[in-house]
Structure 1
Amino acid sequence: MKEQCLIIAGEKSGEEHCLSFLPTLKANRPDCHFFGVGGDELAANGMELLYHLKDFSSWGFSEVIGKIPFYFKAFNHIVSEVKRRNCKVAILIDFQDFNLRLAKKLSKEGVKVLYYVAPQAWAWKAYRAKVLEQTVHTLFTIIPFEKQWFTDRGVKRVRSVAHPLWFHYKDKLNVFNRSRTFSDFSKELRIVLLPGSRRFEVSSLLPEFIETIKELKKNRKIKVAMVCSSNVGQALFDPYLEHIDSIYKNEDLTNALEWADCALAASGTVTLATAMFGLPTVVCYKSSFFNEFIFHTFIDYDGPISLANIFRGKRIFPELVQEQCSSYNILNGLESMMGSQSSYENISHELSEVLKSVQGDDFEVGVYMSSVLKESYDEV
């Protein structure tokens, strides 16, 4: 019987996750046929696409509602293909609202479900841990404390794996050495602004970032760089360019992180990147009134919001949320990390621990998945 393996990567980030282990998986199971949901890169790696991930993408509540008929149709088609092909293993990557339902259905059909990137049940919808305990063969986590959290709640096989940013940056980080010292900062401080990749983020955070820069320039010599997302129109950035010494595009983010001494950043994955490169960062978050209402109404979570802080289990980066995002508070946040040599050395130590933790356990995901495939088809 020809080996068949379903892969569901319904978002671009999921495709990137998959590319971190698929080459090893294919090398170990060269005769296995992979099919499911993915993007152009997975197709280029030989995966048969039942649906392109672009078909699954949706932004905002109203767009999700409009796509419900499509999701139901795709769900049923995927299940029927799994049955028709006598598929024994499914790799479901993040995309939790769709994939958790699919995991329940496939497990009832006797399919071994490998669930990659655990849903953040510790933040909200904790009942999902029970769903995973009942339906998945193996759960893969990318945040250190999640392994113990899910194990304590009955999930039998939990593996901690490297965060995808580690795979993205590891070649650079293995040779990168931050040579500038605290004494260099007192002569000239280099700050990179990371105002986000959405219009709302940039329009609400960048004015406060610039006010912070103006205040800093009154008392010390600084150089300022900014990373501009191609997702945001240039017109949003133009009024502030006179205060910026250099501009980096998204694809040049690594160069900006290597150049800077510290950062002001919108909350998001980029704050884990700044931590990995050893940059003290003030993290700012603003959202619309509607999103804030939804968060406080339905999500029972009051822990840290930035990934670096979540990885360490404490607030090593200052976090400023909503009305707290003022130039006064941003300055105080910078001062708490960069105001003295001891505070800088302390934050540097914490960031070195973050860098260790993003690398996960000493564990080869592709090799493990190939062993599950082998045992599943050997049982037939």
Structure 2
Amino acid sequence: MVHDVVVIGASVAGLTAARRLATDGFDVVVLDPNPEGASAAIGHGVAACAHSSTVTTMSAAYGTEAVNEHVRRNLVGMEEIRRVLATGDVPHRVLPLHDHSLGVALDRELVPTLELLASAGAEVRLLGRDETRRPGAGIVSEAILVDPAQYAGALAAQAAHAGADIRYDMTVTHLVRRDGVTAVAARPNLAWAREVHSMLAVAVVDTLGVSPWGRMAGNGAAQYVPRVRFRVAQVPDVVTLSAGPPVWLVRPDGDEAVAYGPKYPASGRGDGVAELERFVTGRLGGTDLRSGTMAIDPSDHGRPAVGASPIPGGFYARGNGRGELMNGTASGTFLAALLLGLESSHQNNALPMSSRLRASARGLRQRLLGH
């Protein structure tokens, strides 16, 4: 039997793509080397249309068309997040995002960035003087906040309910492309297990960087983000982005708050945590601090590495696009659109007509059976 798609990694990107494809009737298998939830229950749990610093950097590096595409994918991703939240009745909050990621600036200095975001379809405005919680101008947009573990659980459950076969504690060991399909071999992560699970797939989506096409899309060594959870007299009612260091993002989480620092190399993460702790204590009045770091792939000027490989049937999501809520969902929905043939400029990457006809038949059968 030849599956339509094998997804390597039950990450946010992988599960999002699997959910979309399985909902449309495609035969999808997800293989993940980690225990259930470990690959997707990560990140800061905040989704928004874009960050000012990312948009500005990306515009300088690639032009406005890249910015438009980045924002468009994020907006499509936010709609997908809303569908997951509504279907699974997942607890969440929608709060203003106060974006100061370009540093201390005047209103007129932010107008070009504001216009870039608005022209791409984002609903944004300048921060009012009566709203500001810190010196300097800022841009206001809407942010969706979730608990990463709760969202990951709901996303996986919905993908499985749609028909995706999700297998945890399975490590992919071999990939061979031959005669229009990819042979995938995987082993259970058990010391005494000797059996090899083999399957064939028309397309393989790699979100872990274990395939030749996934490894080629990598952008460098992992980076680390300091994180400090703390108690504070007044829990913030907005999400705040800063230029950093020492702080990059502050969000509420129940009756506590969480602060995140900017990305550091492995050698600097200890200093980054210490600086963030001093900021939380001295500037935010935080108490009962619990600190740590999150590993993250580097991105390409803020742009997730996601797309189709020159190797037929190979797709990938790397960089920050494979994991956390915002970029992970945007990457997953884009990959699903590629495979479904919904991206007009990437028609050559769509699944073959035979797969689409089988998916239509499965989808019709599921609807008739009330699945």
TM-score between both structures, scaled by the size of structure 1: 0.28
TM-score between both structures, scaled by the size of structure 2: 0.28
Structure holding more strand per residue: 2
Structure holding more helix per residue: 1
Q: Structure with the greater relative contact order (CA < 8 A, sep ≥ 6): 1 or 2? A: 2
